[in-house]
A and B are shown apart, each in its own frame.
Chain A
Amino acid sequence: MIVGKQKPFEEIWNMVKDFKKVLVYGCNTCVAICHAGGGKEAEIIASMIRIKAAEEGVPMEVKHAGIERHCEPEYFEPLMEEVKTYDLVLSTACGVGVNFLSERIGNIPVYPGINTEFFGAVPQAGVFTELCAGCGNCILHLTGGICPIARCSKSLMNGPCGGTNKGKCEISQEVDCGWYLIVERMKQLGTVDKLYAIQQPRNWSTARDGGPRRVVLAHIQDLEEEEAKKES
């Protein structure tokens, strides 16, 4: 899932303080699981803004709402007419949601209420860890299911650097060395010999380096077109 973290309230206040009618708009999928931007968090942020506005003597109407997903039109379109009555939407969806709503909402600004962090998992309640960097060319079959791009601080492809210290990364004793984990896992799987082969320089064009990415499924597009024809 996409992991997000609420922005410091001071930053949020500075974004919203000059608006009169604000909607704090939550997203109830990924960012709700990480307690950053679901409907519940949107409600709390809305209350905090109201309290601060009252303290500062700023007249402001603040409402909150939450929908299932901000990244697909079918979820937010039913509410769009109402959303358009505000003069600011503070979205607590991930950056995808902020972008997606912003380009469909017309002349109303959509500001981010959270910082979108990474694709992560939930190893224990309240802890979220980055496990995939979305590079567009998966090699997890070669690395024991542990991603060196996401989990090695240097995204090295050919084993651990000299900075491995007691199984931890040179950047912090709190961070596991990704390559230490890979080597140990490959030993456990009996496939450590796969790590003896040189991985050549990668083609990073499948990652963000290649520019904004798109995935197009032609067969789904064709189906949609057929449906549209039938209806007309």
Chain B
Amino acid sequence: MKSGSNLERVIASGKPAVTAELGPPMSADPQEVIHKAKLLKGYCDAANITDCQTAVVRISSIAAAVLALREGLEPVMQMTCRDRNRIAMQADLLGAAALGLRNCLCIAGDHQSFSAAGKLKGHPGAKNVYDVDSIQLVGILKKMRDEGLQEGGDKLEVAPKFFIGAAFTPGGEPMDYRPYRLKKKVDAGADFIQTQGIYDVEMFKSQMEKVRNLGIHEKTAILGGIIVPKSAMMLRYMDSSVAGVSVPKPLIDRMMKAKNDAGTDKKKAKEAQEEEGIKIAVELIQQVLEIPGVKGVHVQAIEWESAMPVILKAAGLYPRPTFPDA
């Protein structure tokens, strides 16, 4: 075991792994994290704790991860390259490991101008860092863990033992280069990969074929990303505006039908779409898990954690594996 994390154990067991997502609040109140952790506990093997996602200030990933851990939910702390240089990154990684965190996902992070896609003020005037990129950060974690060395070469008395994650956008451009970039992440040391949300399963299948031809799937655990759709509007937005995500028209049409069939009652239309969204998510999970080389799913029910139990049960992924000595 590289880290001994629950996520690593599930992956090693050969059973499909399930990760979820927990977004910390724009508040100093721990209750929201605790509440979400309680909802997710038992319905995933580990939950990503986002790191100021959409470039908005929230409880830090490490602090929220520790809150989740106290509730018995295994966290995957996230670390973006946007806000820290390699000194701060490594200091935070040592601190996170000392606090008991065992999984870390390395990502570039949304640009500081993103400000929740313009919905919030954010801090578009902030200076970004990008001292290292996500692939270099993966390499830093691996060097710390496996060689007991800092990036600069100084020794670590006790190495931080992280299960190292990275992201993959199979539908991102230039698409023919994406599998090679994924290979770089895995060569740098990524133990697991979570993909951007997949709606276009055919596209993902074709990218996975290239991934298999490069032998990447044998060196890392690829978890297919599932973003649970809530409404036809959300699917349309994801299709038109979210980079690397395309939504096939039949899925949007299904959601539109669910909405229209519910009539003019807004509450009913919302419920009908949510019900259809859960069905779509379950189907996507099943289709993605059938693709050779896929070792699990990363299910994001954004601000809708209560949907996880229904989805996991319907997908045949409940109960989650447990390990007696853990």
Which of B40-48, B165-173, B301-309, B314-322 contacts its partner?
A: B165-173
With contact pairs A159-B181, A198-B188, A201-B140 given, residues A164 and B172 touching in the complex (Cβ less than 8 Å): yes
A161-B134 contact given A154-B111, A170-B114, A201-B151, CB 8 Å threshold: yes
Of listed B82, B174, B244, residue having the most chain A CB within 10 A: B174
Knowing A162-B244, A183-B174, A201-B86, say if A154 contacts B108 (CB, 8 Å).
Answer: yes
Please, which residues of chain A bring their CB within 8 A of the CB of B139? 198, 200-201
B229-268 vs A, Cβ < 8 Å mask (1 yes, 0 no): 0000000000001011000000000000000000000000
CB contacts (< 8 Å) of B132 on chain A: these are: 201-202
The answer to whether A183 and B243 have CB atoms under 8 Å apart is no
Contact across chains for B111 and A171 when beta carbons are under 8 A apart: yes
Decide if B172 touches A156 in the complex (CB within 8 Å): no
The distance from the CB of B164 to the nearest CB of chain A, in whole angstroms, is 14
User: In the complex where A154-B128, A160-B181 touch, is A201 in contact with B136 (Cβ < 8 A)?
Assistant: yes
Decide if A163 touches B111 in the complex (CB within 8 Å): yes
| A155/B136 in contact, CB under 8 A | no
- From residue 176 to 192 of chain A, which have CB atoms closer than 8 A to chain B? 177, 180, 183-184, 192
Contact A196 B184 (CB under 8 A): yes
Contact A165–B133 (Cβ < 8 Å) = no
Is the C-beta of B271 less than 8 angstroms from some C-beta in chain A? no
Q: How far is the CB of B305 from chain A (nearest CB, A)?
A: 23
A199 to B135, CA, bound (A): 9
Question: How far is A153 from B241 in the complex, measured between Cα atoms in Å?
Answer: 18
Task: Check if B243 sits within 8 Å of A163, measured CB to CB.
Answer: yes
- Tell me whether B136 and A158 are in contact (CB under 8 A): yes
Residues in B neighbouring A163, C-beta threshold 8 A: 108, 110-111, 243-244
**Complex Cα gap A192–B243 (Å):** 23
B53 interface hit (Cβ, 8 Å): no
Report the minimal beta-carbon distance from B61 to chain A, rounded to whole angstroms.
18
Question: Are A160 and B113 closer than 8 Å at their CB atoms?
Answer: no
B187 close to chain A: CB less than 8 A: yes
A166 close to B173 (CB less than 8 A): yes
Q: Within the assembled complex, what's the spacing in Å between the Cα atoms of A157 and B134?
A: 9
Known: A159-B181, A164-B243, A170-B243. A199 touches B136 (CB 8 A): yes
B130 & A183 in contact (Cβ 8 Å cutoff): no
Closest to B182 in A: A159
**Which residues of chain A come closer than 8 Å to B188, judged between CB atoms?**
198
A162 B172 Cβ-Cβ under 8 A? yes
Report yes or no: A195 in contact with B180, Cβ–Cβ below 8 A. Answer: yes
Majority SS of interface residues in chain A?
loop
Is the Cβ of A160 less than 8 Å from the Cβ of B128? Answer: no
- Interface residue? A167 (CB, 8 A): yes
Instruction: Tell me whether A158 and B110 are in contact (CB under 8 A).
Output: no
Q: What's the least CB distance linking B124 to chain A, in Å?
A: 9
B interface, size bucket: 35 or more
- The reply to whether B244 and A198 form a contact with Cβ atoms under 8 Å apart is no
Interface residue? B270 (CB, 8 A): no
Interface residues of B in 104-159 (CB under 8 A from A): 108, 110-111, 113-114, 128, 130-136, 139-140, 151
Q: Are B172 and A160 in contact (CB-based, < 8 A)? A: yes
Please tell me if B177 contacts chain A, counting CB pairs below 8 Å. Answer: yes
Chain A residues within an 8 Å CB radius of B86: 201
**Given the known A-B contacts A160-B172, A164-B243, A201-B86, are A192 and B177 also in contact in the complex, defined by CB atoms under 8 Å?**
yes
Complex: A157 Cα to B187 Cα, angstroms: 15
Residues of A within 8 A of B82 (CB): 154
B181 neighbours in A (Cβ, 8 Å): 158-160
Instruction: Determine whether the beta carbon of B184 is less than 8 Å from that of A170.
Output: no
Asked whether any CB of chain B lies closer than 8 Å to the CB of A204, the reply is yes
Asked if A195 and B177 make an inter-chain contact with CB atoms under 8 angstroms apart, the answer reads: yes
Task: State the CA gap A192–B84 with chains docked (Å).
Answer: 30
Q: Which of B114, B187, B244 has the most CB of A within 10 A?
A: B244
A154 touches B172 (CB 8 A): no
Q: How far is the CA of A192 from the CA of B174 in the complex (A)?
A: 12
Q: In the assembled complex, which residues on chain A have CB atoms less than 8 Å from the CB atom of B136?
A: 157-158, 198-201
A158 touches B244 (CB 8 A): no
Q: A183-B174, A198-B187 are in contact. Are A170 and B111 (CB under 8 A)?
A: yes
Are B177 and A154 in contact (CB-based, < 8 A)? Answer: no
Residue of chain A at shortest CB distance from B114: A170
What separation, in Å, do the CA atoms of A77 and B180 have in the docked complex? 57
Tell me whether A156 and B111 are in contact in the complex, defined as CB-CB below 8 angstroms, given that A162-B244, A164-B173, A200-B139 are known contacts. Answer: no
CB-CB contacts below 8 Å: B63-108 with A: 81-82, 86, 108
B residues apposed to A, CB below 8 Å: 81-82, 86, 108, 110-111, 113-114, 128, 130-136, 139-140, 151, 167, 169, 172-174, 177, 180-181, 183-184, 187-188, 196, 241, 243-244
Binding site for B on A (CB under 8 A): 153-167, 169-171, 177, 180, 183-184, 192, 195-202, 204
